């Protein structure tokens, strides 16, 4: 079990009254945004999709902000202290290509159909059983991810402020509950934009101070004394690298299955793009987010490596790795700046948790409650159900927060979930969108089989080898890849012996039968294809530089 209370902190922390004051101002501000937006939440579409009225720069930063949770800050810092620069694969291979794909291919499908959720697409393409199964899985997935954000916030409070784990969890729950219930998705989106800037301004000086202290990248390499920690690809022809995994699973397990599974099918991020003002703005949303995502390949990774340089090998142990970033804030930041840095971390956790909860209440309201419990209620009724679901989601997340204590690090926990829930779903989407022969029951059985494979193989590995091996990053990449393969094979096999839908029912939801709508954008530098080519070129350059 990885609980901070059981280990001696590696850095002594002294928080002053100014640090508490800065945190309090942040809490008042985010609750104020929710209160102001409350008067604008008159319909369920206002609450769940912001009326589709937001500009792309807002939705783009919110698209990234919804992803800047515990995984992004604490998890990547822990991974960098343990694995070095290879952790950047989760950005340059495990994010950017998929973000371009979702912008160019997925958003037009979502936007044209105006579905409220990913399960809504599954119903149109497959059948009610597939939609219902995915809706239940996705609701559970969101609650588990919300819990990890609570847990990460509690670790920071416990370390920096001396608060108990339980008190910290309940505080985070109360703040998120307040502004999501008040303002719905718009409240979450505007707070995610604020949180993006807070996180960036909190991590940037940390990286600068740390690099100056250790003597730049050359000094960092010398002090760590592990050359393999500064190569992303050079040693991946075998398993003799920090990830202990070959390039095949990095490219296909992480770069294809886990990455595309997350960015293409995780409704909490897709939801932000659908809130944009038109199709062109919706397509730009993931691409606008991709540019700062490249930057976070540095801002989120280097603090963990600096912690390894300053604190030594102890930071890379399972008991300490999660705290690499807050340790460095406590080490480098004076009073006041420490409070600002802490607020940046809180923003990350609040962003992630709020995104999870708003996605949960949307799926519950539209894809479970309305579909199976009360089909013909008024719009006001569904709005109220969404608010009740938000309260329930936050309360259930408190319970899931304690599950995270059984994993070696935060990033291990999140990657296990992604491989189990999203990898099979990506297989279902891939066949459904590009192969007209895929049938409803083929999609359902493939999704069940792929999800079952991921769950069963994880449980078996856990029983045989323990949590450290079962939730290792290389193991998660391989498990995700094979869960995806199982989903594809079963879906194809069942589809070949069952009756497909006629083409008339597939028009508009399958690539070959859909009348393509091009986004209207006069400015060349705003065109989605132009932005995609630029960000992909930068990604290739970064991979070559850190080869």
The residue with greater pLDDT, 440 or 35, is 440
In a domain, 542, yes or no: no
The CA distances from residue 355 to 55, 173, 177, in Å, are 19, 13, 12
In a domain, 231, yes or no: yes
Give residue 314's pLDDT band: very low, low, confident or very high (50, 70, 90).
confident
**Six token digits for residue 263:** 């960015």
Q: According to the 3-state scheme, what is the secondary structure of 455-509?
A: HHHHHHHHHHHCHHHHCCHHHHHHHHHHHHHHHHHHHHHHHHCCCCCCHHHHCCC
In a domain, 221, yes or no: yes
368-389 pLDDT, tens per residue? 888 888 888 887 888 788 778 8
pLDDT at 492: 97
Give residue 155's pLDDT band: very low, low, confident or very high (50, 70, 90).
confident
Please state at what angle helix 118-125 crosses helix 128-160, rounded to 10 degrees.
160
The residue with greater pLDDT, 489 or 136, is 489
In a domain, 522, yes or no: no
In a domain, 531, yes or no: no
Task: Give the CA dihedral 277, 365, 410, 240, nearest 10 degrees.
Answer: -70
Give residue 319's pLDDT band: very low, low, confident or very high (50, 70, 90).
low
**Six token digits for residue 19:** 């640090």
Domain that holds residue 108: 4-513
Q: Is the pTM of this model over 0.75?
A: yes
In a domain, 448, yes or no: yes
Q: Please answer whether residues 148 and 404 qualify as being in contact, where contact means their C-beta atoms are separated by less than 8 angstroms.
A: yes
Domains of the chain: total: 1
Span 55-61, average pLDDT: 68
Nearest to 159 by CA among 298, 308, 331, 310: 331
Sign of the alpha-carbon torsion through 328, 332, 338, 343: negative
pLDDT at 3 over 60: no
Q: Which residues contact 149 (CB under 8 A, 6 or more apart)?
A: 69, 70, 172, 349, 350, 352, 353, 356
Among 43-47, 165-169, 541-545, the least confident range: 43-47
Go through 455-480 and write b for each residue having 16 or more CB atoms within 10 A of its CB, e for each that does not: eebbeebbeeeebeebbbbbbbbbbb
- Helix then strand count (H, E) for the chain reads 25, 0
pLDDT at 425: 92
In a domain, 535, yes or no: no
Q: How far apart are CA 531 and CA 542, in angstroms?
A: 17
In a domain, 538, yes or no: no
Q: Please answer whether residues 154 and 169 qualify as being in contact, where contact means their C-beta atoms are separated by less than 8 angstroms.
A: yes
What CATH number should be reported for the domain holding residue 287?
1.20.1730.10
Task: Return the residue matching tokens 């719905």.
Answer: 184
Span 132-159, average pLDDT: 84
Q: How far apart are CA 85 and CA 55, in angstroms?
A: 35
CA atoms within 13 A on the CB side of 14: 3
The CA distances from residue 49 to 75, 166, 379, 438, in Å, are 29, 33, 14, 30
């Amino acid at each position: 079990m990885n609980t901070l209370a059981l280990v001696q902190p590696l850095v002594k922390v002294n928080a002053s009254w100014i640090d508490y004051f800065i945190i309090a101002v942040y809490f008042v501000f985010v609750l104020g945004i929710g209160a102001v937006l409350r008067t604008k939440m008159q319909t369920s579409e206002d609450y769940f999709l912001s009326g589709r009225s937001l500009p792309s720069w807002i939705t783009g930063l919110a698209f990234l902000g919804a992803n800047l949770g515990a995984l992004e800050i604490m998890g990547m810092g822990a991974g960098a202290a343990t694995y070095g620069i290879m952790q950047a694969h989760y950005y340059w291979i495990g994010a950017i290509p998929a973000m371009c794909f979702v912008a160019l291919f997925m958003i037009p499908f979502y936007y044209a159909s105006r579905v409220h959720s990913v399960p809504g697409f599954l119903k149109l393409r497959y059948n009610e059983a597939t939609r219902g199964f995915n809706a239940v899985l996705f609701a559970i997935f969101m609650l588990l991810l919300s819990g990890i954000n609570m847990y990460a916030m509690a670790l920071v409070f416990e370390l920096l402020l001396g608060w108990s784990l339980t008190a910290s969890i309940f505080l985070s729950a109360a703040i998120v509950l307040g502004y999501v219930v008040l303002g719905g998705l718009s409240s979450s989106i505007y707070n995610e934009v604020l949180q993006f800037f807070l996180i960036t301004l909190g991590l940037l000086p940390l990286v600068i101070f740390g690099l100056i202290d250790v003597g730049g990248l050359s000094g960092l390499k010398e002090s760590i004394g592990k050359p393999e920690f500064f190569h992303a690809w050079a040693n991946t022809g075998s398993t003799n690298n920090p990830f202990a995994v070959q390039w095949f699973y990095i490219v296909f397990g992480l770069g294809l299955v886990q990455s595309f599974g997350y960015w293409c099918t995780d409704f909490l991020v897709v939801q932000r793009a659908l809130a944009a003002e038109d199709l062109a703005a919706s397509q730009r949303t993931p691409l606008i987010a991709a540019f700062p995502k490249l930057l976070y390949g540095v801002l989120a990774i280097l603090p963990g490596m600096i912690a390894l340089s300053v604190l030594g090998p102890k930071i890379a142990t399972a008991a300490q790795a999660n705290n690499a970033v807050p340790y460095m804030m406590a080490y480098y930041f004076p009073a006041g700046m420490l409070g600002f840095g802490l607020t940046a971390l809180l923003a990350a956790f609040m962003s992630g948790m709020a995104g999870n909860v708003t996605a949960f209440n949307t799926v519950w309201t539209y894809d479970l409650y309305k579909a199976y419990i009360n089909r013909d209620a008024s719009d006001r009724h569904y709005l109220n159900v969404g608010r009740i679901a938000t309260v329930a989601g936050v309360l259930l997340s408190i319970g899931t927060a304690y599950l995270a204590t059984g994993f070696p690090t935060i990033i291990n926990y999140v990657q296990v979930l992604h491989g189990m829930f999203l990898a099979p779903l990506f297989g279902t989407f891939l066949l459904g969108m590009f192969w007209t022969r895929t049938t409803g029951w083929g999609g359902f059985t493939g999704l069940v089989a792929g999800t079952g494979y991921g769950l069963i193989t994880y449980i078996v590995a856990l029983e045989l080898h323990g949590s450290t091996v079962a939730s290792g990053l290389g193991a998660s990449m391989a498990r995700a890849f094979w869960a995806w393969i199982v989903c594809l094979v079963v879906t194809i096999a069942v589809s070949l012996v069952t009756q497909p839908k006629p083409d008339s029912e597939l028009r508009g939801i399958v690539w070959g039968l859909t009348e393509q709508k091009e986004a209207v954008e006069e400015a060349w530098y705003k065109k989605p294809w132009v932005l995609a080519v630029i960000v992909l070129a930068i990604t290739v350059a970064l991979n070559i530089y850190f080869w």
